Amino acid sequence: MDDASGLDPSRQADGRFGPGNPGRRPGSRNRMSQRIALGLLRHFAKHEAEILERLSKYHTADYVRLIAVMAPKEAGEDSPEVAADSPEHDPER
């Protein structure tokens, strides 16, 4: 708010952004939505096994949809992404 009218110089009289100032990028988050997203990610990381177990048991269609979205497009026995995550390659099993 630099000028005498009390408006931010990058804004027009009606409060909209002026030419050459596009505002926030599409898809960018404000602080609140970013804090909520980080909180959800922390909660999921802490309770991952329980959440996935409940999702597979009570919301099977959503669980399968999540797998379809997260799986590599070319999943097969010889796919490096699938082979690295298979039980045969897991040293803890």
pLDDT tens digits, one per residue of 20-76: 776 777 777 788 899 999 999 999 999 999 999 999 999 999 999 999 999 888 756
What distances in angstroms separate CA 7 from CA 4, 16, 18, 23, 30, one per listed residue? 8, 11, 12, 16, 22
**The pLDDT of residue 54:** 97
Structure tokens at 34: 């970013």
- What is the pTM assigned to this prediction? 0.49
In sequence order, which residues have a C-beta less than 8 Å from that of residue 82 and are 6 or more positions away? 72, 75, 76
Q: What is the pLDDT of residues 14-35, one digit of tens each?
A: 888 777 776 777 777 788 899 9
Give the Å distances, CA to CA, from 87 to 41, 56, 82, 83, 84: 26, 19, 10, 9, 9
